[in-house]
Amino acid sequence: MLNKQQNILIIGAGLCGSLLALRLAQRGYNVTVYEMRPDLRKTDISAGRSINLAFSDRGNKGIKLVGLEDKVRPLCIPMNGRMLHDRDGKTVLSNYSGRAHEYINSISRGGLNALLLDEAEKHNNVTIHFNKKCKSVNFEKTTAYFIDTLDSTEFIEDADCIIATDGAGSALRQSYFLERKFLFSFSQEWLTHGYKELSILPEKNGGYKTYKNALHIWPRGDFMVIALPNLDGSFTVTLFLSYDEGEYNFNNLTTPEIVIEFFQKEFPDALELMPNLVEDFFENPTAPLGTVKCSPWHYKGNTLLMGDSAHAIVPFYGQGMNASFEDVVEFDAVLDTHEGDWETIFTEYEKRRKKDTDAIADLAIDNFHEMKDHVGQAIFQEKRKIEMALEKEFPEDYASKYSLVTFNEHIGYREAMLRGRAQDKAILNMLSDGVISADDNIKDILVKVKTETKAILEDDKIAGLH
Amino acid sequence: MLNKQQNILIIGAGLCGSLLALRLAQRGYNVTVYEMRPDLRKTDISAGRSINLAFSDRGNKGIKLVGLEDKVRPLCIPMNGRMLHDRDGKTVLSNYSGRAHEYINSISRGGLNALLLDEAEKHNNVTIHFNKKCKSVNFEKTTAYFIDTLDSTEFIEDADCIIATDGAGSALRQSYFLERKFLFSFSQEWLTHGYKELSILPEKNGGYKTYKNALHIWPRGDFMVIALPNLDGSFTVTLFLSYDEGEYNFNNLTTPEIVIEFFQKEFPDALELMPNLVEDFFENPTAPLGTVKCSPWHYKGNTLLMGDSAHAIVPFYGQGMNASFEDVVEFDAVLDTHEGDWETIFTEYEKRRKKDTDAIADLAIDNFHEMKDHVGQAIFQEKRKIEMALEKEFPEDYASKYSLVTFNEHIGYREAMLRGRAQDKAILNMLSDGVISADDNIKDILVKVKTETKAILEDDKIAGLH
């Protein structure tokens, strides 16, 4: 039944594609990867993409799977919490968890991707081609049509199966949509906000201009700035802002004066750290924030979408890369059971996985509102205080929604979402009704939160929700 | 400011397009309509489309707006409730409302459309062209590109603004999507079920073979059959069934024997009324069930999507046509305020309307599950019994979700959804917890349902839901 000499074509050598290539190589398949960009180990091609990313426990499952934990750790900068900056430049650090060993990491996209490419290429059964852009996929014939971006030659590649890890603008997904050969459910949803990358450069001595081990947030209700540390002492800064609503927006921030005015008014302490603001602002592109969901991901046993091509999400939960790496782990587990039968593998994989990637897409939208707005509200701050105390006092018994999503990698995103949302609802309502307060006995709070959360989940179930 | 001599181009002369054309003609605009099909008043082109539809209070607002109530009434067959048929052929009638004057109607799509076309054409400022298929719209230039389906000639039409009422497969919506000139959020979601139309023919004397004034349902959990009466004594029957799941599905119902076996086992009383079943089954197409949402509906003041082109929904709430007619009413109200400024009109219209069409799309999916499954479950039947009693006893004070959606045309779909879902949740949970039962004093039930519904809405609000 099992034929390991099968040829697998992977479209896209980004984070998901290169991890997948490495894992399939380890399993003995013949793997050929086509990437539209130049080799990022030889060229700087970061423009327009996030330079660093949040890397956490779910992503680490994928890294463990391929045995690279020791090589990835040095690329990581731990971020223990959110450092919130108010308009006066006053800061407060809000830990991600009441458990000291739970934190997320800032990691360089390029550095991690280069490592995965290097490791994949150590296998004789892996070939990676760069500058080859996929234009379309014939999913009936299992062939992909490419154009060489350097010399514009065109060619068709055949394979036993094709896995597209070619990101939010996937060529395979586009072929599914445009060909109309089967019922393809598809959604693309854009936020009214876009984003622009800026930077806080290192001190002259290479040190960090602000606290290194945090994800910095300047929440302002309708917009926000965040910053993540890099190994070289810099921070990558991102401004999330409406295209056309509010006093200041991307459409009206058209002159250096108004950009400075905006930052002076809203982010004075950040402005002080960014003498390079105006240059960055007008050099860097403004990019949209979209969510993509679709189904089916596969066509028979011929083709499969994985990573962002199947489920692009907004960045606000720091789970984009982590979800894609978890895809590879889940796919690998299905391979263990059904190896040799691609159609069953693809079907089972989607059945197991889609409910979870749908959930993280929705959670990421939730967190957009939480980060830019809720973190600044009193009732949410009181909830957060209670949850930190619960996690510290009862590390085995309590996990906040954030912890369920980020640090409880043994449960799926969907379960994390349902439990986490019910818990949030329980705490917020009990706070609002005066049933609990942050000063109560912590054990009493735990019992009340657990009881109320269970009741909420039960009520939803009876009403046929979920 | 106001220039009534403006030329409005409407793409599609279906129910929405013909009502809109009539209304805009009444307001004095120059209206030109292009329809891809032949004139339905001269040709029978019903194949593949629902022959009859549910027409209720929201749709009637549109008919009142154009002054056609008296002409539409004779086309209607009142349906006072659902007649449920079990596997033994036993039937029970479940009224749509506890208020006697609240019912829905079965109406012929073709008959109603013909009336609207006739009425529109009575106006000198309306021209309707048939057999002209729109291929694409240049929304920057406000021009539409057509092909004549009879002689294949192609031509371009210019207008002051273009409104596309060209249904779920809208050419304008496709142009928005494919041109990528702005951020266009779009989703198409297919159910795993498809549908096929069948028929119960009239008695030889022209009489009805089963009860005339009901929407008949044969609910079977994973699939169902429904039937709506026609003026000629026939019923249009629709089978909703999975394409590929379950013992019987569209993919395996491939021979007359297996079709008969399926109906004999699941719908024996319907089979008796349908000696023509096998012929209908293999002659009529199987069609998919999809939901389309998108935004923005308009491009500047140039183009606008309306009706199914903006929000195609599944048929299970009987609200497709009603929602489209309500579109025209809402659009007309915005015209009253902003006439002369198309960009403001289109922007305001979408802002007012989209939350409601999103809601009816979701409600229609809810009702898919309710009709095929819940209506057969004890707890839902008890809820229904209580709600009928509440509506009868307190006609001014209580309306079920179904009544809110169908008969409370003064509130929007979204408000109906939020209140209706909370009410359902309250009743189901109180039934499940033994807090209420159908035998309790009805006044006590009303108080408890109202209190609990309010608490549910309040809790959701505090938790930041909705």
pLDDT in tens, B98-132: 888 899 999 999 999 999 999 999 999 999 999 99
In the predicted model, is pLDDT for residue A48 greater than 60? no
pLDDT of the residue at A1: 41
Across the interface, whether the CB atoms of B459 and A189 are under 8 A apart is answered: no
pLDDT of the residue at A192: 93
Label residue A39 exposed, middle or buried (CB < 10 Å: 0-12, 13-18, 19+): middle
pLDDT in tens, B239-271: 999 999 999 999 999 999 999 999 999 999 999
A186: chain B residues, CB-CB within 8 Å: 186-188
In the predicted model, is pLDDT for residue A105 greater than 80? yes
Which helix H or strand E contains B384, and what residues bound it? helix B378-393
In the predicted model, is pLDDT for residue A66 greater than 60? yes
B462 in reach of chain A (CB within 8 A) = yes
A429 in reach of chain B (CB within 8 A) = yes
Let me know the angle formed at the C-alpha of B71 by B67 and B73, rounded to the nearest 5 degrees.
105
Which helix H or strand E contains B172, and what residues bound it? helix B171-179
A176: chain B residues, CB-CB within 8 Å: none
Q: Chain-centre distance of CA B274, in angstroms? A: 26
Q: How far is A187 from chain B (nearest CA, A)?
A: 4
pLDDT of the residue at A18: 98
B260-289 residues touching A, CB cutoff 8 A:
288
Across the interface, whether the CB atoms of B462 and A185 are under 8 A apart is answered: no
**Residues listed for chain A:** 466
A185: chain B residues, CB-CB within 8 Å: 187-190
**The two structure tokens encoding residue B434:** 């033994």
B186 in reach of chain A (CB within 8 A) = yes
Across the interface, whether the CB atoms of A425 and B374 are under 8 A apart is answered: no
Q: How far is B379 from chain A (nearest CA, A)?
A: 10
pLDDT in tens, A363-403: 999 888 887 777 668 888 899 899 999 999 999 999 999 99
In the predicted model, is pLDDT for residue B2 greater than 90? no
A378 in reach of chain B (CB within 8 A) = no
Phi/psi of residue B447, nearest 5 degrees? -60, -45
Contact A291, A312 (CB under 8 A): yes
CA distance linking residue A253 with residue A287, whole number of Å: 15
Residue B440 pLDDT level (bands cut at 50, 70, 90): very high
pLDDT over 90, % of chain A? 90
Phi/psi of residue A439, nearest 5 degrees? -90, -5
Residue B1 pLDDT level (bands cut at 50, 70, 90): very low
In A343-414, at which residue ranges do the beta strands (DSSP E only) sit?
none
pLDDT of the residue at A463: 87
Residues B301-316, mean pLDDT to the nearest whole number: 97
Q: Which of A104, A119, A109, A65 is nearest to A330 (CA)?
A: A65
pLDDT of the residue at B47: 46
CA distance linking residue B37 with residue B185, whole number of Å: 29
CATH number for the segment(s) A7-72+109-188+291-365: 3.50.50.60
**The two structure tokens encoding residue A406:** 């980020």
pLDDT of the residue at B3: 55
Residue A46 pLDDT level (bands cut at 50, 70, 90): low
Q: How many angstroms separate the Cα of A337 from the Cα of each of A6, A64, A82?
A: 17, 20, 41
Q: How far is B422 from chain A (nearest CA, A)?
A: 9
A190 in reach of chain B (CB within 8 A) = yes
Across the interface, whether the CB atoms of B185 and A188 are under 8 A apart is answered: yes
**The two structure tokens encoding residue B112:** 């109603």
A463 in reach of chain B (CB within 8 A) = yes
Residue in the structure block whose two tokens are 């079907």: A347
Residue in the structure block whose two tokens are 């004594």: B233
Across the interface, whether the CB atoms of B425 and A369 are under 8 A apart is answered: no
CA distance linking residue A15 with residue A27, whole number of Å: 19
Predicted-complex ipTM score? 0.91
CA distance linking residue B132 with residue B145, whole number of Å: 10
If DSSP codes are grouped into helix, strand and coil, which group holds residue B265?
A: helix
Across the interface, whether the CB atoms of B425 and A184 are under 8 A apart is answered: no
In the predicted model, is pLDDT for residue B64 greater than 90? yes
Q: What's the mean per-residue pLDDT of chain B?
A: 94
Across the interface, whether the CB atoms of A186 and B183 are under 8 A apart is answered: no
pLDDT in tens, B193-230: 999 999 999 999 999 999 999 999 998 989 999 999 99
Phi/psi of residue A52, nearest 5 degrees? -130, 165
CATH number for the segment(s) B7-74+108-187+290-367: 3.50.50.60
pLDDT of the residue at A43: 82
What is the side-by-side order of every strand in the sheet holding B154-158? Answer: B132-138, B143-148, B154-158
For chain B, give every domain's residue range.
7-74+108-187+290-367, 189-288, 377-462
